[in-house]
Copies of this chain bind each other. A is one copy, B any other.
Amino acid sequence: MEQIPHTPAIVVDETILNANISAMAEFAATHNLQLRPHAKTHKMGPVAHKQLAAGSSGLSVATLGEAQYFFNAGITDLFIAYPVWATRNDAQLLTRLADDGTLAVATDSVAAVHQLADVTDEHPGVEIMIELNSGHHRSGVFPDQVVPIAQAIAQRNMTLRGVFTFPGHSYAPGAHSTAALDEARVLREAKHILENAGYPTEVLSGGSSPSATATVTDGATEIRPGVYVFGDAQQLELGRIGWDDIALSVVTTVVSSQPAHRDAPARIIVDAGSKILATDKAPWATGHGRVLGHPDARIIALSEHHGTILWDSDRLPAVGTRLRVIPNHVCVAVNLVDEVFLVDHDGAVSTWSVGARGKNA
């Protein structure tokens, strides 16, 4: 990693990235599932094109800004998997994405359907996916609440594409199978209720990175995993991937190396802090990320530019040593840099721009 000019920096192993993309595409194809990966994880055109080349029909994105970036990068089949509250400022972009591409937008309320219809002048090309709550209790309605939303869509001459859910409660040890069953249950229930009310739906979309490969295939027609392209410490500690599946890490330098003294523990400080690793830490996480090649080291604290590590032996690395740290949650780490470094096995370095970084709106 000495070829990286400054630390901290994010590096991507393209060989592992390619393998991760292929494996998920193969899973989806084998199980007759559409794969619409969530691009908020990588925010990069080149990664999206790899996903499409492997068989994805299109992408999921989180914001209109991400949709615009990927559309301009040549990816025209987009699902904004977020209950967008559209405003007049969004009208032109929504119309363009629908006219020149294939667009779906999420909703979980009658009011947002009317707002979207008002803003787009009832554009039937802006297809709508109703968001369901499968147990994560974030946005989304329960199946017994979908009919008024479908009615509003019909009333405004908009197009109902289907229903979707994010089983975010899969992010806990051992929870992925239960979450996948919950997902299948609400997707089937909603489909049944909508059909009985005269609103047949084709697309039933689910999937998170922990639960995607546990998807109940007669409960979903489509999956939307995101993190799987890079992997991260969360997926590792949930046991959903192995160390060899980690395609992305943060190259960092040891800037302070302190043997135990008075009441201060032996520790090293690296220059990867919360402004590159982010502070995400689930209650079950063992620390603020993991150290590649040192599974027993623990990142016990993060400041903005300091990672405090309890090392795996008494022989602390010297200041100036470079290490590689795996972020807990890769989506928020990538969003903190302008570019990532691709390091080839022959030592050559190239960069990719994180083109949709900061596209929060």
Q: Which residues of A contact B (CB under 8 A)?
A: 5-9, 40, 62-65, 82-85, 87, 89-90, 108-109, 111-112, 115, 133, 137-142, 145, 168, 253-258, 261-265, 267, 269, 271, 274-276, 278-281, 301, 303-306, 308, 318-320, 331-332, 335-338, 358, 360-361
Contact status B308-A138, CB under 8 Å: yes
Interface majority SS (helix, strand, loop, mixed), chain A = loop
Contact status B258-A141, CB under 8 Å: yes
Contact status B257-A361, CB under 8 Å: no
Beyond contacts A138-B303, A275-B332, A275-B358: 18 other A-B pairs, Cβ-Cβ < 8 A, are A7-B361, A9-B360, A9-B361, A84-B255, A85-B319, A108-B258, A111-B319, A112-B320, A141-B258, A141-B261, A142-B261, A145-B261, A271-B360, A271-B361, A274-B332, A279-B279, A279-B332, A335-B336
Residue of B with least CB distance to A279 = B279
- Which of B254, B318, B358 makes the CB contact (< 8 A) with A338? B358
| Residues of B contacting A9 in the complex (Cβ-Cβ under 8 angstroms) | 360-361
Q: How many copies does the complex hold?
A: 2
| Residues of B contacting A82 in the complex (Cβ-Cβ under 8 angstroms) | 255, 271, 305
Residue of B with least CB distance to A7 = B361
Q: How far is the CB of A324 from chain B (nearest CB, A)?
A: 15
Contact status A108-B140, CB under 8 Å: no
CB-defined A-B contacts under 8 Å, sample of 18 = A5-B89, A62-B304, A82-B255, A82-B305, A111-B318, A111-B319, A115-B320, A138-B256, A142-B261, A145-B261, A271-B361, A274-B278, A278-B278, A279-B279, A279-B280, A304-B331, A337-B358, A338-B358
